Structures are given as structure tokens and as C-alpha cells.
Structure 1
């Protein structure tokens, strides 16, 4: 990786953002991969089936997104892909992102510092409406090439809440059956992680994939402890004017309200699974 003078980088960023952002709009394609660590616990499952399940979960968490942006707003949407013959229904069942409220259509408005996510959770449409979190980015001096763009490093600390799918699909040990209320967050794991982002002032907007934003240039790559998102293609100022619309359909809730609804749904799934003795259905995709 190259080293770059921080003051020069900041000057480039400042000039680019103030002079050019007014007319910028475009599309950026991102590839997202999330590591899947699933604990099968004491379930008596053949090794070949475990391997097949892990492969399906891995594939379900490798996604392509398109970020459509202008100077103040963006729309982030997963590209739909057809299931290939022989994949064995890997796309069915509850998904990690749906439980976390991050799988749906995402609208960010930087000017208002708010976001909207239209998300489907087990057959019901929700519209999450909340305030964007402003991370305390630390600007680094490192730079590297991502595609044809020069990107600079920034880091921040963020508390991330993720669904604990292993808790749903494991059998309770002896004496655990009546301990559900002792740990209400069993359905989620909460962890403080370092976010590493790479942004480019050559696209002078402070947008990025997912809920990431706030850097003086488009975020081209971002990594937390399990998810890596990398931009693979950018189209600037397309001939056809871009219109970015916020999603409007669904039951409007805050992020905290959605998290509680998701927690209850996960608890219900766990109870249903355990009542069946851990057999059939409820596959963790």
C-alpha cells in the first residue's frame, strides 16, 4: 500500500467536494460477502448435510448491490438473481439480513441525516424510519487503488447487533428450558467492532454502501469483523437522469421497534423449532 500525505489528501477532498458535488450522480455496484459461523451444538446431523447447509448459508450471504446516488440522497438495493438448477433451495428460509433489518431497499438522505428501509420479515412489509448514525471517522494516511480510483483509509468504532441464528436452531441443554427471560438478547449478539473503510475523493459525495456515509468521498470498500463490501463498477453521470425515490409502503417503525419485533419473531421460531424436537423446517439460510 502507498503512503500519502494526509494534508494533501484532505485538500484534494475538500476542493473536489465543494467544487464538483453539485452535479454528481451515478451508480455504484458492490459485492458483499458475510462470513457464516453456525454452531450446530449437540444436534445429530450427518457431516455431509452440515456441509451442504453451510454452503447454502454462505451462498445466501454473497450478494450484489447497486447504489444509486446524487449529491444528497442514495438508494441501495440488492440485485435479484435466479436460483440455479441443483442449488437445493438455498435462498429459502429466514435470512440474517432480514432479521437485522438490513436486507431491504435502503434510502439515505444525507441532508436530513435520515434513512428508510423497506424490509420484508416473514411475510410482512416494514418501513424502518430512523436517524442516520454519524460515525467518528479517523482519517488515515494510507492509500490504495480500487479499480481505477485512488482510495484513502478511514476507521471508526461501531456497535453492531446481529441475529444469533445458532440460538434458534440449537437444542436446549438440560435445565435451560425455563431460562428464556434471563437473557432477552439471546436472539442477538452485540459487539463493538472496528470499521475499516476506503473512500475516494474522485467521486466527491459522502455516500457509501449500506448505512455507511460521512466521509469526504464515495466509500468504495468497507469491512467489519464478518462482512466485506467492495465496489466493482461505477457509472458517473449517466445520460438518463437519475431519480431517487424514498420507499413508502410498509408498516412504519423505528429501528428499535423493528429490532424488538425481529427478536420476538426469532424467539417464536426457536420455540417452534424446539417443539418439533429440532426436526425439519426452519432451515437457517
Structure 2
């Protein structure tokens, strides 16, 4: 009975808002790292804490989603880079700089700016909606009632944001270290390794989203959307994105424009460029070279 009354209340709210829906949502994104996997074999708790603090700018970000009924613009708030060592994954992540992302759920259009190794690209794509499973589970997020949806997202081999440590190798090698001589030899071997061999990208990840039908726009943070309401919280792998503030019917939401900066490419073309550049970087590393061809 409570569920029925809740649904009726939401339907009434939607009927009133659907014609002129617009607003701005602030999202806080946090990513956790398995330091035992990425941080070396003999790191103290203080060392792990120090590295996590230095990687904070990469792991904690703030985004603004400006939206109306059909369109949205997703931008990252600027921050100062603190700089840190983080192995192969950080090296790869620092090569990317995500820009503005535009979505139109009516035309199924997605346009985003990306900087990769100093070159600006304008990626034109269609919205790849997840095959969501809607549930009756709900919770309160701020002043909104949010419902849970789950799905599976397929990844490409260039989705480095979901990279993880290859399993098993560290544990096996840790058991072999018995004295200082072996430790030194192990360090020398590590310095000669291709850093990207340390990581792998899974084929797919599970996604959990919490959306509110009280804000009837089928969008959300990043590329995510396709639900009957704005996504307020999203969990993907080790990343949680949570809406911390919503301003409805703000004046600047009527001027949502597509990004225009960069070389225009399709998603497939961009992924090919990233893959080729990654292989080039790995070949240079193995050969001790520092050069590389330009785009």
C-alpha cells in the first residue's frame, strides 16, 4: 500500500514538471584503489595514505550536469593537479583529459570533447543505453525518492578508467623475497617492465543506479541515462557518483549547446587512435626510446 501511494505521488509530481523541466545537478565522484594490488609489496599504512592523498585529484572529482527534458551538458569542475606516482594506470589516466559531454535523448546523440596526449578530439556517437533492470527498491536521496536499477556495461580495451591490477603475480613473487639481494634484484626487474602489463581491463562491469521519477529527464552523470528519471547516484566498479545538489528551473539551462572543439572523429576512430598510441608507447618503453610519431 505504501508503495502504491508513493508511486501516485511521483506521478502527480511528474505531470506538473514534465513540460518545463530544467535544472543543474552537482555530482561528487570518488574512486577507490586497491593499494595492496597497485602499491607495491612492502608499503606501510603511512605510505599508502600518502600516495592516496597525492592521487586525490585523480580519484575525487566534481561535475556539473545542466539539463532540460531532452538535452544535457556534463562538465568537470577545474581543479589543481597535485601530481603523484601511481604506476602504469596513473600514467595512462594522465594522458586523458575529459571535456564537455553533450547528450540529446530525443535524437539519441552524444558529443564529447576529449584531450589525448595533448591533442583535442571531438567524438560524435550515439547514446549507448544500458539494458536496465528496474526494481521496487527505493531510498531517500536528499528530498527525492530514488529507485534502484541494475545493469551490465560492456567495456572496450581502451576504457582505462576501469583498469585493475592483473591478479596473482604480486602474491606469488612476494613469497620469494627472502633477503636484501633478492629485493634489489626484484626492483631491477620491475624497472624494466612495461608498466601497462601490470593492468588489465575487464570485459564488462556491473552498474547500479538510483534514479528519481520526480525529475522526469532520462539522463544522468557521464554517458549514463536511459531511465525514467534523473540518476542521482551511480556505482560502477570502484567508482561512486553521488548527486550532492540540485537547482531546478535555473536561468542558464536554456542555453545547452554542443561542444565544438577538436578533430571530429567517431567513437570507433577514437578508440583506434588510443589503441595505436598505447601500443606505440609500450613499444618505446620496451626499447628504451622516448620518441613517438605525432597524431
TM (norm. structure 1) is 0.75
* Alignment match of 1:204 (pick from 211, 216, 220): 216
The aligned counterpart of 2:21 is 24
- Quote the offset at 1:192 in angstroms: 2.0
Contact 2:67 2:253 in 1 (8 A): no
1:240-267 deviations in Å (ceiling 9; x for gaps): 5531000012111122221221122222
CA distance in 1, matches of 2:54, 2:15: 46
Alignment of 1:84-103 (within 5 A): 87=82, 89-90=83-84, 94=91, 96=93, 99=96, 103=98
Contact 2:57 2:79 in 1 (8 A): no
The aligned counterpart of 1:149 is 144
CA distance in 2, matches of 1:56, 1:269: 25
CA distance in 1, matches of 2:93, 2:32: 11
- Quote the offset at 1:128 in angstroms: 0.9
SS in 1 for 2:72: strand
Contact 1:17 1:216 in 2 (8 A): no
* Alignment match of 2:112 (pick from 117, 140, 151): 117
CA distance in 1, matches of 2:137, 2:113: 36
Q: Are 2:243 and 1:245 aligned? A: no
Alignment of 1:88-237 (within 5 A): 89-90=83-84, 94=91, 96=93, 99=96, 103-161=98-156, 162-163=159-160, 164=163, 189-237=201-249
SS in 2 for 1:104: strand
TM (norm. structure 2) is 0.73
Alignment of 1:268-283 (within 5 A): 268-276=280-288
Runs of at least 5 residues in structure 1 that lack an aligned partner in the other structure: 281-285
Q: Are 2:55 and 1:60 aligned? A: no
Q: CA 1:56–1:274 in 2, change beyond 3 Å: closer, same or farther?
A: farther
**Higher helix proportion:** 2
CA distance in 1, matches of 2:41, 2:262: 40
Contact 1:222 1:230 in 2 (8 A): yes
Contact 1:29 1:233 in 2 (8 A): yes
1:47-79 deviations in Å (ceiling 9; x for gaps): 677764444334312100000001110000000
* Alignment match of 1:36 (pick from 33, 38, 41): 33
CA distance in 2, matches of 1:4, 1:118: 45
- Quote the offset at 1:173 in angstroms: 7.4
Q: CA 1:240–1:129 in 2, change beyond 3 Å: closer, same or farther?
A: closer
CA distance in 2, matches of 1:261, 1:165: 22
Structure with greater Cα Rg: 2
